[in-house]
């Protein structure tokens, strides 16, 4: 779904058109809808191209992990690996303003780009009947950051959404003004401890009462990755060489468009997009890096990628992946 396809006016759906909103989301389209906090910009979390289009629509895209929203706790539980603490919290507080970060299940459907290449994912069941109806109609997890251009004020009405995104997204379902609250609380259940990653709409003492133990508060520079926190990326074991116009013997190649010189001697090749489509490249980035790393090549040569549009975010992730490693 290219930006050019979004030059037409965005459809404004009524609150009785949740089935149509879900149909559009299932077809890979972008649909804004209200939650209990603000309007979210929804995209199929299982569809890498839809997530790439979401980043592009918001402007100045940055591949941060996104919260995957589910219609029910039962739906969310199928997507990740929930230990006893995570299950206890889900049973107590979903639907509601609690996001739980858990390991992704081996057969989990949330795309690499929605998870920012991480082995974990953030899940929430919103406490808003219209949002859950849209999610149920879509029949899949939906990523939904705020429905505004990057850097703009978060939208609390459908008109606010259209002020920023008219012509850039397919539809907004008008559920009236949202009851604006703080963002969801985010906790990580990735081991024995439950860590508080972001305070929010669910108080710490309510969570601790259910767990029967204190939450571990993590310092900013030690926080594991979750939406709204530190940026991260899939960091391969291999060294990463950027803007490579040729491939050395034994190097793996991350190509974009036509293959460069020396490709015939590459240890392995993954082409992000033979046609040079940045949305396709964004959707394939993390899986391609992982596949090349698995080849065992000591170095991954990365072909030049333009810095326009989604290319900016792709290059940002590759720069992070190429940063020198420090050993403890």
Segment 108-140, tens digit of pLDDT: 899 999 998 889 999 999 999 999 999 999 999
The H or E element containing residue 198 is strand 195-198
Query: Average model confidence (pLDDT) for the chain?
Result: 88
Of 62-71, 217-226, 316-325, the one with minimum mean pLDDT is: 217-226
Helix, strand, coil distribution of the chain in percent, nearest 5: 30, 20, 50
Q: Give the integer Cα–Cα distance in Å for 99 and 101.
A: 7
Report pLDDT for 180: 61
Model confidence at 6: pLDDT above 80:
no
Q: Give the integer Cα–Cα distance in Å for 236 and 328.
A: 17
Q: Give the integer Cα–Cα distance in Å for 159 and 28.
A: 23
- CB-based burial of residue 19 (10 Å sphere; 0-12 exposed, 13-18 middle, 19+ buried)? middle
- How does pLDDT run across 180-239, given as a tens digit for each residue? 666 788 999 999 999 998 888 888 999 999 999 999 987 655 544 555 443 444 568 899
Of 153-162, 271-280, 295-304, the one with minimum mean pLDDT is: 153-162
Cβ atoms of 110 and 142 closer than 8 Å:
no
pLDDT band at 324 (very low <50, low <70, confident <90, very high): confident
CB atoms within 10 A of CB 274: 12
């Amino acid at each position: 779904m290219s930006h050019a396809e979004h030059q037409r006016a965005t459809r404004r759906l009524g609150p009785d058109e949740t089935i149509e909103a879900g149909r559009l989301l299932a077809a890979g389209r972008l649909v804004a809808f209200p939650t209990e906090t603000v309007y979210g910009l929804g995209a199929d979390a299982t569809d890498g191209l839809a997530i790439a289009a979401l980043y592009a629509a918001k402007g100045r895209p940055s591949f941060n992990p996104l919260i995957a929203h589910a219609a029910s706790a039962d739906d969310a539980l199928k997507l990740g690996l929930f230990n006893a603490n995570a299950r206890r919290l889900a049973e107590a507080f979903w639907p509601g303003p609690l996001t739980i970060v858990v390991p992704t299940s081996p057969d989990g459907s949330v795309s690499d780009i929605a998870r920012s290449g991480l082995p974990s994912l953030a899940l929430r069941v919103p406490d808003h009947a219209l949002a859950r109806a849209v999610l149920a109609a879509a029949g899949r997890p939906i990523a939904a950051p705020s429905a505004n251009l990057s850097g703009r004020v978060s939208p609390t009405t459908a008109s606010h959404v259209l002020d920023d995104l008219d012509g850039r997204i397919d539809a907004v379902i008008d559920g009236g003004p949202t009851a604006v609250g703080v963002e969801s609380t985010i906790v990580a259940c990735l081991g024995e401890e439950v860590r508080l990653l972001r305070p929010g709409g669910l108080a710490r003492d309510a969570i601790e009462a259910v767990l029967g133990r204190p939450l571990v508060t993590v310092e900013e520079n030690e926080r594991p990755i979750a939406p709204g926190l530190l940026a991260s990326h899939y960091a391969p074991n291999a060294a990463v060489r950027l803007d490579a116009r040729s491939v050395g013997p034994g190097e793996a190649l991350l190509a974009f468009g036509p293959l460069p010189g020396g490709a015939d001697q590459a240890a392995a090749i993954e082409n992000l997009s033979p046609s040079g489509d940045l949305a396709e490249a964004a959707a394939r980035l993390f899986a391609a890096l992982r596949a090349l790393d698995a080849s065992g090549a000591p170095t991954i040569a990365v072909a030049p990628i333009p810095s326009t549009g989604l290319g900016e975010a792709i290059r940002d992730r590759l720069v992070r992946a190429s940063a020198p490693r420090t050993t403890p």
